[in-house]
Structure 1
Amino acid sequence: MTRTDSDWWRGAVIYQVYPRSFFDSNGDGIGDLPGVTAKLDYIADLNVDAIWLSPFFTSPMKDFGYDVSDYRGVDPIFGTLDDLDKLIAEAHQRGLKIMIDQVLSHSSDQHAWFKESRASRDNPKADWYVWADAREDGTPPNNWLSVFGGSAWAWDSRRRQYYLHNFLASQPDLNFHNPELQDQMLEEVRFWLERGVDGFRLDAINFCFHDPELRDNPPSQAVQEASIGVRKENPYAYQYHKYDKTQPENLVFLQRLRALLDEYPGTTTVGEIGDDNSLQTMADYTGNGDKLHMAYSFDLLTEQTGADFIRHTVETIESNLTDGWPCWAIGNHDVARVASRWRAQSPEQLKLFMIALLTLRGSVCLYQGEELGLTEAELAFEDLVDPYGISFWPEYKGRDGCRTPMPWQHDADQAGFSSGKPWLPVAADHKAAAIDVQGAAPDSVLNAYRAFLGWRREQDVLLAGAIEFHDSPADTLLFSRRDGDRHLLVALNFGSESVTLDLPASAQPITGTPGCLKGDWQGTQVTLPAYGAGVAEV
Structure 2
Amino acid sequence: MTGNNAWWRGAVTYQIYPRSFQDSNGDGVGDLKGITRRLGHVAELGVDAIWLSPIFTSPMADMGYDVSNYTDIDPTFGTLADFDAMVARAHELGLKVIIDQVLSHSSDQHPFFQESRRSRDNPKADWYVWADPKPDGSAPNNWQSMFGGIAWQWEPRRRQYYLHNFLKEQPDFNFHNPDVQEWLLGTMRFWLERGVDGFRLDTANFYFHDKKLRDNPPFDNGANLPPVNPTAMQIHKFQKNQPENIPFLERLRALLDEFDDRAMVGEIGEQHFSIQLMGEYTTARRLHMAYSFEMLRPDFSPKHFRRQIEEFFQLAPGGWPCWAFSNHDVVRHVTRWAKHGHDQDSLAKLAAALLLSLEGSICVYQGEELGQSETELEFEELTDPQGIAFWPDDKGRDGCRTPMVWSAAEPHAGFSNAETTWLPVRAPQRARAVDTQAGDPNSVLSFYKKMLALRRGREDLKTGKTRFLDVTEPMLAFVRGGRTLCLFNLSPEEQTTEAPPIDSVLLSSAAQVEAGTVKLGPNGFLLADIAG
Q: Same fold (TM over 0.5)?
A: yes
Matched, 1:462 2:465: no
| Residue 384 (structure 1) aligns with | 382
The question of whether the paired residues in 2 share the 8 Å contact of 1:25 and 1:418 is answered with: yes
| Residue 527 (structure 2) aligns with | 535
The question of whether the paired residues in 2 share the 8 Å contact of 1:509 and 1:535 is answered with: no
1:75-125 Cα offsets, whole Å, 9 max, x none, are 001000000000000000000000000001000000011011111111111
The question of whether the paired residues in 1 share the 8 Å contact of 2:334 and 2:344 is answered with: no
| Residue 55 (structure 1) aligns with | 54
What is the percent sequence identity of the aligned residues?
A: 54
Structure 2 CA distance for aligned equivalents of residues 20 and 503 of structure 1: 46
* Residue 524 of structure 1, CA deviation: 2.5
| Residue 449 (structure 1) aligns with | 448
Which aligned segments of 4 or more residues in structure 1 are displaced greater than 3 angstroms? none
Q: Secondary structure at the match of 2:120?
A: coil
The residue type equivalent to 2:337 in the other structure is W
Q: Which residues in structure 2 correspond to 1:283-362 (within 5 Å)?
A: 283-288=279-284, 290-343=285-338, 344=341, 345-362=343-360
The question of whether the paired residues in 2 share the 8 Å contact of 1:509 and 1:534 is answered with: no
* Residue 321 of structure 1, CA deviation: 1.9
* Residue 518 of structure 1, CA deviation: 4.2
Structure 1 residue corresponding to 2:511, chosen from 519, 523, 535: 519
The residue type equivalent to 1:186 in the other structure is L
Unaligned runs of 5+ in 1: 224-230
| Residue 488 (structure 2) aligns with | 492
Structure 2 residue corresponding to 1:409, chosen from 384, 387, 407: 407
Q: Secondary structure at the match of 1:348?
A: helix
The residue type equivalent to 1:50 in the other structure is A
1:496-523 Cα offsets, whole Å, 9 max, x none, are 2222222233x3123xx34x54422223
Structure 2 CA distance for aligned equivalents of residues 477 and 5 of structure 1: 35
Structure 2 CA distance for aligned equivalents of residues 159 and 363 of structure 1: 46
The residue type equivalent to 1:469 in the other structure is F
* Residue 209 of structure 1, CA deviation: 0.2
Unaligned runs of 5+ in 2: none
Structure 2 CA distance for aligned equivalents of residues 78 and 155 of structure 1: 33
The residue type equivalent to 1:370 in the other structure is E
Q: Secondary structure at the match of 1:519?
A: strand
Structure 1 CA distance for aligned equivalents of residues 190 and 466 of structure 2: 38
Matched, 1:270 2:269: no
Deviates more, 1:373-382 or 1:165-174: 373-382
| Residue 227 (structure 1) aligns with | none
The question of whether the paired residues in 2 share the 8 Å contact of 1:67 and 1:106 is answered with: yes
| Residue 129 (structure 1) aligns with | 128
The question of whether the paired residues in 1 share the 8 Å contact of 2:402 and 2:425 is answered with: yes
Matched, 1:16 2:15: yes
Structure 1 CA distance for aligned equivalents of residues 438 and 529 of structure 2: 30
Root-mean-square deviation over aligned CA pairs: 1.3
1:273-307 Cα offsets, whole Å, 9 max, x none, are 0112101000110012x100000000011111122
* Residue 495 of structure 1, CA deviation: 2.1
The question of whether the paired residues in 2 share the 8 Å contact of 1:154 and 1:169 is answered with: yes
| Residue 373 (structure 2) aligns with | 375
The question of whether the paired residues in 1 share the 8 Å contact of 2:497 and 2:519 is answered with: yes
The residue type equivalent to 1:529 in the other structure is G
* Residue 431 of structure 1, CA deviation: 1.1
Structure 1 CA distance for aligned equivalents of residues 4 and 128 of structure 2: 39
* Residue 417 of structure 1, CA deviation: 0.5
Q: Secondary structure at the match of 1:448?
A: helix
* Residue 232 of structure 1, CA deviation: 2.1
1:17-58 Cα offsets, whole Å, 9 max, x none, are 000000000100000000000001000011000000000000
Q: Secondary structure at the match of 2:487?
A: strand
Size of the aligned set, in residue pairs, is 520
| Residue 77 (structure 1) aligns with | 76
The question of whether the paired residues in 2 share the 8 Å contact of 1:472 and 1:501 is answered with: yes
| Residue 193 (structure 1) aligns with | 192
Structure 2 residue corresponding to 1:245, chosen from 227, 240, 249: 240
Structure 2 CA distance for aligned equivalents of residues 5 and 274 of structure 1: 28
TM-score, reference length from structure 1: 0.95
| Residue 255 (structure 2) aligns with | 260
Q: Which residues in structure 2 correspond to 1:29-44 (within 5 Å)?
A: 29-44=28-43
The question of whether the paired residues in 2 share the 8 Å contact of 1:11 and 1:362 is answered with: yes
* Residue 461 of structure 1, CA deviation: 1.1
The residue type equivalent to 2:107 in the other structure is S
Structure 2 CA distance for aligned equivalents of residues 341 and 156 of structure 1: 41
Structure 2 CA distance for aligned equivalents of residues 209 and 42 of structure 1: 39
* Residue 9 of structure 1, CA deviation: 0.3
Structure 2 CA distance for aligned equivalents of residues 222 and 251 of structure 1: 29
Structure 2 CA distance for aligned equivalents of residues 221 and 313 of structure 1: 23
Q: Secondary structure at the match of 1:257?
A: helix
Q: Secondary structure at the match of 1:492?
A: strand
The residue type equivalent to 1:382 in the other structure is E
Structure 2 CA distance for aligned equivalents of residues 82 and 299 of structure 1: 38
The residue type equivalent to 1:492 in the other structure is F
